[in-house]
Structure 1
């Protein structure tokens, strides 16, 4: 892990994420890339116009540069290499392109989650990034004066498609020096016997074993509740999951457990794209 991207709107939630990123960067000798997205309404841009020629764009880019200057002066960023970027895209597209251009290894984002009607209609920017990002996304909800993860829950159905996300999660657990707790949640609607669940998990990890892990089967009313309740029971510092990146009508009907966790879990969540 060499490069960490932190999208920021200069809010308290974004700074919580930046403080965690700074701790990781100091521990693992990483560079930090700060990204601020200036969202300009599309109806103000015609085919012959350049974003940079818009008065709004110029104003907000100058404002962002001043805010970057103030932010980079914070004591917790001292002695770190910090790059700053201002872009004019939709947030998730800007993050995707920045990750690709600068070969980012990890995205760290702040979120306070959304719920109810607002969640159903528009979701959150963090949720959209989780759904589309090819790069692992670490979502931070609260302040962490010391981001130290001793126990890392990786929840999965342990099918073939989840092997690559599991390998990435395993590598991240090793970077953190965390114990990994592999979790399969049993629900009334998707019940699997303990024998079958154990067999599937053991087969899944056969070629990628860790020296510091446990396997766990947890019964609950839903997968999301099972993940949160199990994580609470062991006081886990981090929850990890894979995400399918569903969009459009498929996402509306099927939803995504990883996105629900990003919105509802109180603990940090990290997602890995299948």
Structure 2
């Protein structure tokens, strides 16, 4: 059974990730683990044994709060609570704590809301953008205003490079959900889509998976993100899938942040991001 690690910080915004994960689990057999990262610093003069006892009591309260928080979301959705568990784990940095737990426990996806309630931000962005930029495990970024709805259609934004391998991953995710897939490619006016024939053949080969190709001339007066948002506004998909390049230089990561990381902050629909090999 595929496993999803669903993160929360107990904010109302973070409930969006829980709602989306619960919806996924209602359409396919996903095992959900709800995860809270915490850190308790010893800022007093407590001895090590005394602090360990204090930390355990605080952790028990946090675990109880997480269980209650998760159950409240299930109740609000009138959803059946099954194939789930709640986990808390201590670490100074929440994003690396989430990544490490997901990788060590072989999760298939990490699900996180695009915005939490925390006022402190990491130097290079929020936990969501950090996960997208660094996580080996694919990340689902869910907009904070997401409300439960059946996942029926998916836009897969592609540069048509390594399309065969990427489409395999897309189909593995969408087929159990019985969702149709629209491959979206933006054609620059000076560009010849040399591998369009290859893509057409792939679409025909996967005709049983309800896939179609949509090539659109890009509006150069607008950013790529704005072009994508315009298509989403017209097509109204249930979610979007993108592949991001993680192995770029440190300079590039600071000054030329990935389109998928940028999109996660503006997204009107949930976004699933795979690492682009």
Query: Same-fold call, TM > 0.5?
Result: yes
Tell me, yes or no, if the aligned pair for 2:143 and 2:269 is still in contact at 8 Å. yes
Q: Which secondary structure does the structure 2 equivalent of 1:12 belong to?
A: coil
Write out per-residue CA displacement over residues 136-174 of structure 1, whole angstroms, 9 at most, x where no aligned residue.
2111114554332222111121113x5433321122121
Partner residue, 2:71 = 73
Partner residue, 1:223 = 224
Partner residue, 1:234 = 235
Q: Which secondary structure does the structure 2 equivalent of 1:73 belong to?
A: helix
Q: Does 1:34 align with 2:12?
A: no
Partner residue, 2:20 = 20
Give the TM-score normalised by structure 1.
0.81
Aligned CA distance change for structure 1 residues 125 and 105 (closer, same or farther; 3 Å):
same
Say what the alpha-carbon RMSD is for the aligned residues. 3.0
Correspondence 1:57-96 to 2 at 5 A: 57-58=55-56, 60-74=58-72, 75=75, 76=78, 78-89=80-91, 90-96=93-99
241-250 or 30-39, larger mean C-alpha shift: 241-250
Partner residue, 2:113 = 110
Aligned CA distance change for structure 1 residues 85 and 131 (closer, same or farther; 3 Å):
same
Partner residue, 2:140 = 138
Q: Which secondary structure does the structure 2 equivalent of 1:180 belong to?
A: strand
Aligned CA distance change for structure 1 residues 39 and 119 (closer, same or farther; 3 Å):
closer
Aligned CA distance change for structure 1 residues 93 and 163 (closer, same or farther; 3 Å):
farther
Extract unaligned runs of 5+ from structure 2.
Answer: none
Tell me, yes or no, if the aligned pair for 2:9 and 2:116 is still in contact at 8 Å. no
133-142 or 74-83, larger mean C-alpha shift: 74-83
Write out per-residue CA displacement over residues 12-67 of structure 1, whole angstroms, 9 at most, x where no aligned residue.
122221122122223322221111111457x97xxxx89x8495x54652331121
Partner residue, 1:8 = 8
Tell me, yes or no, if the aligned pair for 2:260 and 2:273 is still in contact at 8 Å. yes
Mapped to 2, the partners of 1:268 and 1:235 lie a distance apart of 12
Extract unaligned runs of 5+ from structure 1.
Answer: none
Q: Does 1:179 align with 2:174?
A: no
Q: Which secondary structure does the structure 2 equivalent of 1:216 belong to?
A: strand
Q: Which secondary structure does the structure 1 equivalent of 2:174 belong to?
A: helix
Aligned CA distance change for structure 1 residues 33 and 203 (closer, same or farther; 3 Å):
same
Partner residue, 1:149 = 151
63-72 or 234-243, larger mean C-alpha shift: 63-72
Deviation at 1:106, TM superposition (A): 1.7
Partner residue, 1:264 = 266
Mapped to 2, the partners of 1:159 and 1:224 lie a distance apart of 19
Tell me, yes or no, if the aligned pair for 2:124 and 2:254 is still in contact at 8 Å. no
Partner residue, 2:101 = 98
